[in-house]
Chain A
């Protein structure tokens, strides 16, 4: 059994209003060193596969078919 750790993030060109709102709140807290906030999703998949490559392939299919909308999002996968 492999664990696939998936990060789904908005593409850099896409405005992230939630990130902006969180950034604003951090500034109100005095954490002015934080210059930018981008919010994405973290998804964990337990994958029953025979190899790491196979697990990655399955996770990639899951991302491109459902977990990420590639019109506006990118994803990265880490297999453990």
Chain B
């Protein structure tokens, strides 16, 4: 059985959601890892959770990226260890250079907290292997800086290497301008690295695990992950 690690920074606030999703919905072992920890032994999968690490000072994720545990996370990821960054976790992984690009303020400047639809763009990753191409998921977002940016060359390389895992769409999977509520380039909601072992996504699948809480569309993503880990 896989053991998950959920990193806790000062200012993380989705760490308990991630812990709950993995422990109580997926029935896996999970440990909290404090940002000052440096021991990742026994961990098979790392989650960098959402929140406002270090108060989002300077830029979201910019300070967290230099915390002691992130140096170990970078080593873990570089060795091929699977890492998932959600929301602020995505921002931290970008700042750490584990995935390319940067986050800007939402183009309408508003903090957006609502359920949105995202479309699965490729099943070629351990995070999406159990989904189907074009499948639409109802997942909450909650961020002020989720306007994903990458230069033209970078965008081309993301597309050429099939690194875009999720895009913002409408309920029918159409990439309408309205659906792209934060202004992200190319509707990008989630991407992986070239090694395909690191995922960064702004939407919160860990908050969509139980019907009683509004949506269970996040569960297929965790099912994919568990399935991939058991095969590996």
**Which residues in A have some Cβ–Cβ distance to B below 8 Å?**
14-15, 17-18, 21, 66-67, 69, 71-72
Contacts and interface: CB of A to CB of B under 8 A. Distances in A.
22 contacts: A14-B149, A15-B107, A15-B183, A17-B104, A17-B106, A17-B107, A17-B108, A17-B109, A18-B105, A21-B109, A66-B62, A66-B66, A67-B58, A69-B59, A69-B95, A69-B102, A71-B101, A71-B102, A71-B150, A71-B151, A72-B102, A72-B104
A17 B104 CA distance: 9
Contacts of B101: 71
Contacts, number: 31
Nearest to B106: A17
Decide if the interface of chain B is mainly helix, strand, loop or mixed: loop
Nearest to A13: B151
Interface residues of B, number: 18
A18 B109 contact: yes
Contacts of B95: 69
A18 B108 CA distance: 9
Contacts of B105: 17-18
Contacts of A15: 104, 107, 183
Interface in B137-172: 149-151
Given A71-B101, A71-B150, A66 B107 contact: no
Closest 8 CB pairs of A and B: A71-B102, A72-B102, A17-B109, A69-B102, A17-B107, A17-B105, A72-B149, A69-B59
